[in-house]
Each structure stands twice: as structure tokens, then as C-alpha cells.
Chain A
């Protein structure tokens, strides 16, 4: 089963896009729920985004330099259940 992750509502100013900084986990790598997979920068701070499920990171749907609105798909995790 595939779980798609959306950009969480981390911005302190409503409607501001969130900048993608760096992927910490590569496509095909195992991830655990709660593990940091991506670093982003909001209008206020650099933040880490944690995986919401345990499995394999199957897609990175955004790239460093992208500015992404809250709620947009950012990653997919293949859950082994």
C-alpha cells in the first residue's frame, strides 16, 4: 500500500509557500514513522519533516529549491503490510 505525504501546515503566515532545502532519505531507502526525511524552510525557521509511516520511500515529489504550498504532495511511502 502506498501512503502519500502532504506538505504539513508549518508556516506561521497563512498562505506562504514552504521552501524545500534537502532530502535526507533517498528513494528506495527504508524509513520509519517519525524519522526525518526532508528539511524545509518556512517564513520563520528551518524545519524537519518526519515520515508519517514505516516502509520504503518510493517517491520524492518535490526538489530542493521548490516552493511548495501547504497540502501539496511531497513524498510517497510504500508501506509493507
Chain B
């Protein structure tokens, strides 16, 4: 089942998915405790899309993300600490404490600070890919967005240009069936989003987004095409959000039987079972891994709670680009 992949690699995928789940659950309770202000958009249930895609990218490849970006950030290599610091508004946060939940990112780690406008990252990703192409760089961009973004004009304009110019960008649609509370079949006639690629003359593929290895393999193929100058590529990853659109959303619109069917396909439980069947880890090992991840998260929370906040002097920094000296 797990193919020719190395055990360390496979166990690494599991650990990263558990880290994302723990991060999101932990942050949920920090919000409920009132320790964290504002709202949050979480990705419990969608761990395999983030980890599957990012594990197939090089460290200097880039991703763009959305307001539901915590999983993408952790998968691209941002640390739990720099993200928690960011959520607590600390100067040591990945955006200096000025971005918060919806703007996680770290350019040194290949993640453009997340863009909270639906479909906002799609033209940006095409632009980055164009610059890579013009400068003959080997890098590619993976651009995450949701099913709700597909009806935006920005999607159609950007994929059209990317197709026309064969840009090295993978458009990654996390299709979780709902744009906020609106079900996908209420807003589009053809709900197979991968079909959109054909309309613009490039390749699209629908993948089980709750199967981390399937996502990884599909992304590897897409990345190889992009690097060979045969981009772009559209990956539609079918997945499901186990939580509200935001913390203030009780998800009354998700039917119970639909929820149960998807919860039974939980990406972490499924992959853990697969690794156990292959003898790479046992149930006790999975439990231990979860406990270790929880412990690390709790330690990071304590540090973040006492991290230094930005000062008034920081107000004007990071606002304008520094002038380059020739």
C-alpha cells in the first residue's frame, strides 16, 4: 500500500498531519478559553491535502495560501512556535505579530503570507510562476484555494494566463464541498472542478484528498510536468472540513450522515491504519506520537504566552519595501 517510500518519510507524513490536528485543536481551546482574540478558520480533516502537496515540493518552491492556512504553513515547514507567537501577536511571530491567523507565512521557507481574500492568491501564484520562468529558475508554485474560489473571476483570468504561457504552477483546489455554509451544487452546475482545466487547455485531475500518499504522488507528477515546462496543472483534492468555517460557525448545514461518512475517512486515522497494516508503527506508537506532539505544542504555548509584543516603534516597520541599494 505504501509503495516504495522510505519508512522515515512515511512516518514523517503521519507526524506532520498529527502536528496540524493538534495545533488546530489546541488553538481551538485557546480561543474558547479567551486566551486568543479574534476568530480563526481551521482545517481539521484537511491535513492530507497540505501534507501531501508540500511533501512533494522542494524547500525553495513556493506556496500561496488562504485564510484557512495553518495546515499549509506547518506542512511547508513553518514551526509551531513561530505560528503560535504570531497568533499571540508577538514580535517573534512569523509575520512579526502583525498578521495573525489569516496571514501565516515565511518567505524564507517558501510560503507567501496567506491571503485572506477568496481567490486572491491565484493571480499572485501565476505571477510568481511567470517570474520563475522568465528568470529560468527551477522553482514552482503550488497555489492552495477552496472550491468557493473557483467561481471568482480571478481564478479564470489567472489560470487562462498560466495555461497560455505554460507557467510552472500547480493550482490546488481543496474541494471540501462548502464555500463557508453554501454547498458546492448550489453554486456550480459542473461540480467536478478538475474539468475546468480542459476549458483552458491544460491538465486537471481529481484526487482523494484524504489519502496523503495519493495527494503526494499526484503532486509529484504535477511538479515534474511544471519543471519540464509543461505547466500549469490543476489538482482537485476531495476533502472535508471537520469544523466550522470559522469558530463562530456551528455547521448546522452539514447533514449528519454526510459528516459521519467523511469522518470515517479521516485522513490521519486512515494513514495510521495503513502504516500499522504495513508494520511500520503499532497502535501504542501512534498514541506515543500523539502524546509527544501534544507535549511539544503545550510547551510552545507557554513560550508564546510570554513572548515579547511589538512596540510602538515597530508600527512603521514592514510597511514599505526597503529600497534596494545598487
User: Which positions in A face B, CB cutoff 8 Å?
Assistant: 5-6, 8-12, 33-34, 42, 44-50, 52, 70-71
The smallest C-beta distance from B287 to any residue of chain A, in angstroms, reads 17
Q: Is the CB of B252 within 8 A of A9?
A: no
Q: Is the CB of A6 within 8 A of B34?
A: yes
Q: Is the CB of A6 within 8 A of B33?
A: yes
Q: Is the CB of B34 within 8 A of A8?
A: yes
Q: Is the CB of B248 within 8 A of A11?
A: yes
Q: Does B138 contact A (CB under 8 A)?
A: no
Instruction: Name the one of B31, B32, B34, B248 contacting A44, with C-beta atoms under 8 angstroms.
Output: B248
Complex: A12 Cα to B34 Cα, angstroms: 16
Cβ–Cβ < 8 Å partners of B33 in chain A? 5-6, 52
Cβ–Cβ < 8 Å partners of B250 in chain A? 45-48
Cβ–Cβ < 8 Å partners of A33 in chain B? 29
Cβ–Cβ < 8 Å partners of B32 in chain A? 5, 8, 49-50, 52
Which residue of the partner chain B has the closest CB to A48? Answer: B250
Interface size on B, residues (CB 8 A): 14
16 contacts between A and B (CB under 8 A): A8-B34, A9-B31, A9-B34, A9-B37, A9-B39, A9-B248, A12-B248, A33-B29, A34-B29, A42-B248, A44-B248, A46-B250, A48-B250, A49-B32, A50-B32, A70-B34
Cβ–Cβ < 8 Å partners of A70 in chain B? 34
Cβ–Cβ < 8 Å partners of A71 in chain B? 34
Whether A52 touches B29, Cβ cut-off 8 Å, given contacts A8-B34, A9-B34, A9-B37, is: yes
Which residue of the partner chain A has the closest CB to B249? Answer: A45
The smallest C-beta distance from A36 to any residue of chain B, in angstroms, reads 11
Cβ–Cβ < 8 Å partners of B37 in chain A? 9
Which residue of the partner chain B has the closest CB to A70? Answer: B34
Looking at chain B's contact residues, is the secondary structure mostly helix, strand, loop, or mixed? Answer: loop
Which residue of the partner chain B has the closest CB to A51? Answer: B32
CB-CB nearest 10 A-B residue pairs: A6-B34, A47-B250, A8-B32, A52-B33, A10-B248, A52-B32, A45-B250, A52-B29, A12-B248, A71-B34
Complex: A45 Cα to B34 Cα, angstroms: 20
Q: Does B220 contact A (CB under 8 A)?
A: no
Q: A10-B248, A46-B252 are in contact. List 20 more A-B contacts (CB 8 A).
A: A5-B32, A5-B33, A6-B33, A6-B34, A8-B32, A8-B247, A9-B34, A9-B37, A9-B38, A9-B39, A9-B248, A11-B248, A12-B248, A44-B248, A45-B252, A47-B248, A52-B29, A52-B32, A52-B33, A70-B34
Which residue of the partner chain A has the closest CB to B29? Answer: A52
Contact with A along B240-280 (1 / 0, CB 8 A): 00000001111010000000000000000000000000000
Cβ–Cβ < 8 Å partners of B34 in chain A? 6, 8-9, 70-71
Which residue of the partner chain B has the closest CB to A45? Answer: B250
Complex: A10 Cα to B246 Cα, angstroms: 10
Complex: A49 Cα to B250 Cα, angstroms: 10
Cβ–Cβ < 8 Å partners of A44 in chain B? 248
Complex: A9 Cα to B40 Cα, angstroms: 11
> Most chain-B CB neighbours within 10 Å: which of A10, A42, A44?
A10
Contact with A along B37-58 (1 / 0, CB 8 A): 1110000000000000000000
Complex: A47 Cα to B29 Cα, angstroms: 15
Complex: A16 Cα to B33 Cα, angstroms: 19
Contact with A along B219-233 (1 / 0, CB 8 A): 000000000000000
Which residue of the partner chain B has the closest CB to A6? Answer: B34
Complex: A34 Cα to B252 Cα, angstroms: 18
